[in-house]
Amino acid sequence: MEAEVAKFRKEAQVSLLTMLILGLITLILAPLTGHYRGFYLCLSLGLIIVIASGVYLPIVRVKKVQNVKELAVPTMQSLWVSTSMGVGYVVTSLATYFKIVLPIAAVLFIIGWVMLLLGLYKLISISKRVGVPLAV
């Protein structure tokens, strides 16, 4: 059981860390969007991702658990938020209102898709493997 928990803990950390890094990249891109509207968009979506991943990452890292399910729940809660914000980037990055310069908008659009697909894949895979409902 301990080995299983350790293995899952590592996998969960990698997932959350990936989301955290992607969120940080969007924050770094914020000043490069070319317009204050794009800047604030990246700031709001990016900060939510960074907070949701940043808060849960230490929890997943140090939480003492009896079984994998107890680790899966916080991991999935964090992944849901990041995945949902990924939808945010997919939808808004190319919207004319935000006036984001095309290369940056394209990067944000791609990051959004990566977060969405990665998040969904991880959520479904964890849910199936651990037996925790998707809507945790």
Report the interface residues with another protein, using CB under 8 A: 37, 40-41, 44-45, 48, 73, 77, 80-81, 83-85, 87-88, 91-92, 94-98, 120, 133-136
Q: How far is the CB of 87 from another protein (least distance, A)?
A: 5
Given a contact cutoff of 8 angstroms between Cβ atoms, the answer to whether 61 and 27 are in contact is no
Distance separating alpha carbons of residues 61 and 38, to the nearest angstrom: 33
Shortest spacing between CB 135 and another protein, in angstroms: 3
CB 49 within 8 A of CB 19: yes
Find the helix or strand (DSSP H, E) in which 103 lies.
helix 102-130
Nearer to another protein, 8 or 98 (CB): 98
Q: In angstroms, what is the minimal distance from the CB of 39 to another protein?
A: 12
- Identity of residue 20: L
Q: State in angstroms the smallest separation of the CB of 97 from another protein.
A: 3
CB closer to another protein, 27 vs 136: 136
- Looking at the Cβ atoms of 44 and 125, the one nearer to another protein is 44
Query: Residue 6 or 102: which CB sits closer to another protein?
Result: 102
